[in-house]
Chain A
């Protein structure tokens, strides 16, 4: 299965700043997904990122707050903009290689906003 390199693994950021998270996949994949996992909680889908088109955001998530880039089939970034303490979470990218496959996740970015 695909191998995903996600960075940074963790960061502590000041409120009002932005952080860009990168995910690099070792193979070409059509769809990449960005999830958020608040401490002790389940995973919530932020958006689906397809190469060459605008990301599709889930209810409660907007492009101005979480801009996503997908310049090619192996790379994507998620930016958390104008951060507040409520954005403190683990952010995970994931890919799926086909209909009969599960997600492969990156190792996650643990973000703390102070």
Chain B
């Protein structure tokens, strides 16, 4: 089945440093979603990207969809301890069905 790889698997940063996670697909995507899961919590939807080259911002978070619609990135500027968690991308596997990426676990050291 379709696999969605995320890199890195883990990232430890000092508070205030930037962080980026990348999501890569072997196939062209119709859209891509990003989720955040805090430790012990459930995934929470962050954003959906649809257009080639699309860039969306949510405060310190910047989401980008690749020109070829095969990859995406999530960049956090000046991380804070509240950014701790695992970030997942998710790609369409059916009309409403999504396949989740492998995830990137972020730790922020105060």
Residues of A at the B interface (CB closer than 8 Å) are 31, 33, 35, 41-45, 48, 59, 92, 96, 99-108
Q: How many Å from the CB of A53 to the closest CB on chain B? A: 14
Write the chain A residue with the least CB distance to B105.
A40
| B88 and A43 contact, CB distance less than 8 A | yes
Q: How many Å from the CB of B12 to the closest CB on chain A? A: 16
Query: Would you call the interface of chain A mostly helix, strand, loop, or mixed?
Result: strand
Within the complex, which residue of B41, B46, B99, B102 is in contact with A45, where a contact is CB–CB below 8 Å? B99
A-B contact count (CB 8 A): 50
Residues of B at the A interface (CB closer than 8 Å) are 1, 33, 35, 41-48, 88, 90, 93-94, 96-103
| B93 and A45 contact, CB distance less than 8 A | yes
Q: Which residues of A contact B45 (CB under 8 A)?
A: 101-104
| A43 and B100 contact, CB distance less than 8 A | yes
Q: Which residues of A contact B1 (CB under 8 A)?
A: 59
Q: Which residues of B contact A41 (CB under 8 A)?
A: 103
Within the complex, which residue of A43, A48, A59 is in contact with B43, where a contact is CB–CB below 8 Å? A43
